[in-house]
Amino acid sequence: MYSILPIFIVFGGYEPINAQYLPPFNTCPAAKFIENIRHLYLKKYWEIAVLKILYEEKQIQAEKDRVTLQMEMNSTVEQLQRRNDRLYGLVDQTKVNVRDCMWYMIEDIDAKSGVYNLSVNGVNVTAYCDMETASGGWTTIFARDETKTNNFTRSWIDYKIGFGSVPENYWIGNAIMHELTKDRPSEVYFKLTDDKNITKWAKYQNFTIGPEEEQFILNVNDTSYEGTAGDALIYGKHNAWSVNGMAFSTYDMDNDRHKKYKCAADGGWWMNKCGVSPLTLTAMWWVESRRSVHVKPRDDLKKVAMMIRF
């Protein structure tokens, strides 16, 4: 990167002599003196070169830090903008008559996580509100804890109207999910804890649940995945394992695309062929691809929550 300049010394008068081309004076005191001067010069030169490199490295690191800080600031601005949009959405109650967990959080910025009474277009429902995760305001529409007694092998009607015990094990109801999302596409957040107590998450944008006449079809933005758990919903529009755009299935209402099996025989879910995010089946798991199911060891989940906010 840096070239060594010819080293000049004064010897035998005032004319400079290039030390690189001096004959070796192995025993001459003057030769040793010249060699010492040469080594000293080289040492100082390389010290300066190293300092320059270190300086440039610090400049590069400073630029990286600046870019990182800018990205964090942009992310914060986006979060604030989304929160602002939600605030404006709450103001207009003439179009959407919903009192959900975000409504409670706006009413009281210090609201704590817990069980709340919600009102969804005239229907009263109880749900757990998470006021801490990812800035809070999440309405839990499905929760399951394998350490508690639960039964998710339920009929189409049960999944439609909802069932279970808040806050550990319940399904808020597909009809309520539709009412919560039909006029205001929401974020959906999956909080997943495995049998080693490791918690990961997955989040998607523009989450909606269709009406019953469309079999409570699930839709999310197909490029919106964020998280640490891996994408177990999308996979691309035409993937046989994607549940994006899939209808809901139960043991008595088979809407999946599998020709041989009823994918929802043990629990209702949005099924394709059959899917790799069956959080209501006898064993819960969430894997990033079909390959993961067959090749990689799978840690079964012991606690899950599916939450939304607009």
pLDDT in tens, 117-139: 999 988 999 999 999 999 999 99
| Total structural domains within the chain | 2
> 103-117, 136-150, 223-237: which range is least confident on average?
223-237
For residues 192 and 151, membership in a common domain is answered with yes
248 φ, ψ to 5°? -80, 145
Q: In this predicted structure, what is the pLDDT of residue 237?
A: 52
- pTM, two decimals, is 0.69
Could you read off the pLDDT of 51-90 as tens digits, one per residue? 888 888 888 888 888 888 888 888 777 777 766 666 555 5
Q: Which of 91, 121, 154 is the last residue of a domain?
A: 91
Residues 10 and 136 placed together within one structural domain of the fold: no
End of a domain among 75, 91, 107?
A: 91
pLDDT at 85: 63
The confidence score (pLDDT) of residue 160 equals 98
Q: Are residues 158 and 302 in the same domain?
A: yes
Number of H helices, E strands in the chain: 5, 15
pLDDT confidence tier of residue 206, bands split at 50, 70 and 90? very high
Residues 74, 140: one domain?
no
Residues 187 and 302 reside in one and the same domain: yes
Do residues 73 and 159 share a domain?
no
Shared domain for 172 and 108, answered yes or no, is yes
Residue where a domain terminates, one of 50, 73, 91? 91
Rg (CA), the chain: 33
CB atoms within 10 A of CB 22: 15
Query: Which residues share a beta bridge with 306?
Result: 142, 190
Mean pLDDT, the chain, whole residue set: 81
Same domain, 191 and 205: yes
Percentage of the chain beyond pLDDT 70 is 78
Phi, psi for 36 (deg, rounded to 5): -65, -45
Note the pLDDT of residue 11. Answer: 39
CA 30-35-40 angle, 5° bins: 125
Residue 23 confidence class, pLDDT cut points 50, 70, 90 = low
CATH number at residue 212: 3.90.215.10
Would you give the DSSP letter of residue 18? E
Judge if 74 and 130 occupy the same domain.
no
243 closest CA partner among 183, 188, 173: 188
Residue 6 has pLDDT above 70, yes or no: no
Asked if 16 contacts 10 with a C-beta cutoff of 8 angstroms, the reply is: yes
- Check pLDDT > 60 for residue 10: no
Residue of 95, 303, 294, 115 whose CA lies nearest to 197: 303
* Distance (Å, whole) CA 260 – CA 181: 33
Q: Is the pLDDT of residue 45 over 90?
A: no
Q: What is the DSSP letter of 42?
A: H
Measured CA angle at 198 (ends 195, 201), to 5 deg: 115
Domain that holds residue 33: 1-91
Q: Which residues pair with 138 in a beta bridge?
A: 130
What is the C-alpha separation between 213 and 196, in angstroms, rounded? 41
133 and 166 housed in the same domain: yes
- Per-residue pLDDT at 202: 94
- Co-location of 49 and 127 in the same domain: no
CA 136/CA 184 separation, integer angstroms: 18
Backbone angles phi, psi at 305, to 5 degrees: -145, 135
Looking up tokens 């990205």 gives 71
Q: Which residues of 132-143 are buried (b: 16+ CB within 10 A; e: fewer)?
A: eebebbbbbbbb
**In terms of domains, do 277 and 131 share one?**
yes
